[in-house]
Structure 1
Amino acid sequence: MLKIKNLRCSVQRAVHTRQLAYEGYGNPPEAIQLKSINIGDKPAADQVFVKWIAAPINPADLNQIQGVYPVKPTLPAVGGNEGFGKVISVGSNVKSVKEGDHVIPNKSGLGTWRELGLHSETDVFLIDNELPLEYAAVFQVNPPTAYRMLKDFIHLKKGDTVVQNGANSAVGKQVIQICRILGIKSVNVVRNRDNLEDLVKELKDLGADDVITQEELYGRKKKFPGVKLALNCVGGRSSLFLASLLDHGGCMVTYGGMSKQPVDCPTGPLIFKDISLRGFWMSRWYDIQKTPEKRQEMYKELAEWMKSGEMKKQAFVNNRLEDHARAIEDAQNKHEKKQLFLLD
C-alpha cells in the first residue's frame, strides 16, 4: 500500500516508496541496499509517473553494480536495467504514452528495481499492454538480441542453417524459437553435463534441429553444410570451431564472452571462404536508433509470437524487494532460473 503524506502545497503530494539502490561499486549482495524514500506524485510537463511491476536480475545488472559494465549510471543509483511498469499519470507535454500504458526502459541505466518512479518521457518506451507479466518483464534484452542477430547480419531464408554456442542460455533459447518460427534450421552447442539428455529434450521441444556438445563440435564428426550464420557468446576455442562451420560468405556474430578468452578465428575459412566476424550489443542498437519505427516493428512481431504461444514463457524465481540479498546472491551463483523482483 502507498503511504501518502500531505505537503504544504495542495497540488503536490509526497508518496512513500521503496527502491534497491547502491552508493558505490562493489559485491552486489552487499552493495545493494533497500531504501525508503518520498517522491512527488505529480509529473512535470515532460515526465511520466510509473508504477513498476516486475524486473529481473540480469548479469549486466550485477556487472553494473560491480562497476565493470560499460553503462555507468550516476551514483547513487537504483539497480536494474530491465523490467516493465504501468503509467500512472503523465505531464502536460507528454505525447508518446498515456495513463494506463505499459512501458519498459528506453535504454540501459534507468533503474527498475523500484516500486515507483518519476521519469522523463524519453526514458520509457511503450509496449503491448496485453503481454503477460512473464513476457513483459524480460521484453527489452534477450528476445530483441536474438531477433536482431537473426535479422541484421545475413539475409536468412527458410531452410538456411544457424549454429550457436551457449544454446541453453536465455538468448540461445530465444534464438531456437525464432529460428523455428521463421523456418530456419538451428544447430546448438552446449557443454556436456550430467543431465544432458534432459537439456537436449528441452531444447528440441523449443524447436532445436540439432543439439551437440562442445566435444562433438571439436571432434568435427558431424557435418552441417550451408551454415550461413554463427552466434558466439563463449569465445576461445569454442568460437574457433564455431566459425569453422561457416559456409562461403558466412558471418560469426559475437555477443558475449563467457569463457573470458579472446575470440579465435580459423585462418583458412577467413581467407578462402571470405567469412566475416562481427560484434553485437543490444544497448548500442537502441542508442543508435534515430526514430522509433524499427523498434516498434520488432516489438510488434515479438509480441505477436509471445501472445500466440509460439514463444514460450520463461521460468522465474519470484522475489520481493526485502529478499534482495538472497535473490542477488542466487542470481550470481544459480543459473537454472532467472531471479525476478515482483514490485506491484
Structure 2
Amino acid sequence: MQSVRRVLSVGHQNPNVWIGIRSLSTSDSASLKKNVASLLDSLSLKPGATLVQNCGDSEVGKTVIELAKERKLQTISIIEDKPGNPETIEALKALGGDIVVPESYTKTWYMKRLTRELSPSAGLNFSDGYQATAVCKALVNGGTFLTYGKTLPKYVAYEGAARKPVEWNAFIKEKNLKAMNL
C-alpha cells in the first residue's frame, strides 16, 4: 500500500512542533476497508460481541473501530505508550472506539477485571511482542485469535525475567483458542 506523508504545523503556541500525518489514496482506503471487513466476517461475531485489538491507532486499527461500530460490536483497542496518548484516545473514541487503553494499562489488574466483565471472544493482533500477548491474555477461553501481517515470536512476551519462557503454541493451546494467521 502506498501512503503519502504530509507535515503540518501544530498549535499556535509553538510553530516549531510538527506532526507527520499519513493519508491514504482513495483506492488504498477502499482496499483497506474491504480487507478489514473480510477480517471481521471471518470472525463471525454477533452484534454486542466484544473484540480486542492492538495497534488501535494504526490505519488498520481505526478501520476496525469504524466497521465494528457499524456492526454493533464493542471494541477494546490497545495503543502503544507514547506522548500524546490522551489526544489519541479521544480521537479513537470519536471514531467509535468503546474502550481505548495504552499498553501499560494492559499490565494492571484493571485490565483483568475489564476483560473478565466484557469477555472478548475475538482478538485481532497486528503486532508482535507484548501487545500480542496482551490481546491473547484478554481473550476468553475458546476465543478466536487472529494475527494479521505478523509472525508471532517463539515465546510469549512477559514482563520480568523470573518466569520460565512459555511457547506461543502452548499458550494458545492452554486457552483453547482458535488461532489464525493471515
Moved more, 178-187 or 215-224: 215-224
> 1:183 corresponds to which letter in structure 2?
K
Residues 1:57 and 1:276: Cα distance change in structure 2 (over 3 Å): same
| Alignment correspondent of 1:231 | 124
Match of 1:250 among 143, 149, 152: 143
- Superposed CA offset, 1:9-38 (max 9, x none): xxxxxxxxxxxxxxxxxxxxxxxxxxxxxx
Match of 2:35 among 128, 131, 145: 145
Q: TM-score w.r.t. structure 2 length?
A: 0.71
Q: CA RMSD in A?
A: 2.4
| Alignment correspondent of 1:262 | 153
**Partners of 1:236 and 1:136 in 2: how far apart?**
31
Q: Note the C-alpha offset of 1:269.
A: 5.9
Q: Note the C-alpha offset of 1:239.
A: 1.2
Aligned length: 147
8 A Cα contact 2:3 2:25, kept in partner: no
Q: Note the C-alpha offset of 1:261.
A: 6.3
**Partners of 2:148 and 2:171 in 1: how far apart?**
23
> 2:73 corresponds to which letter in structure 1?
I
**Partners of 2:105 and 2:86 in 1: how far apart?**
15
Residues 1:137 and 1:149: Cα distance change in structure 2 (over 3 Å): closer
**Partners of 1:170 and 1:276 in 2: how far apart?**
25
Match of 2:177 among 242, 252, 275: 275
- Superposed CA offset, 1:158-192 (max 9, x none): 11001000011111000000010010000000012
| Alignment correspondent of 1:99 | none
**Partners of 1:168 and 1:236 in 2: how far apart?**
17
| Alignment correspondent of 1:185 | 74
User: 1 or 2, which has the higher strand percentage?
Assistant: 1
**Partners of 1:143 and 1:218 in 2: how far apart?**
31
What aligned pairs does 1:190-339 form with structure 2 within 5 A after superposition? 190-222=79-111, 223-224=114-115, 225-257=118-150, 262=153, 264=156, 265=168, 267=170, 270-271=173-174, 273-280=175-182
SS of 2:143 mapped into structure 1? strand
What residue ranges of structure 1 are gaps of 5+ in the alignment? 1-54, 59-132, 281-344
Percent of pairs identical after alignment? 22
What residue ranges of structure 2 are gaps of 5+ in the alignment? 5-23, 157-167
Q: TM-score w.r.t. structure 1 length?
A: 0.39
**Partners of 2:28 and 2:179 in 1: how far apart?**
32
> 2:177 corresponds to which letter in structure 1?
I
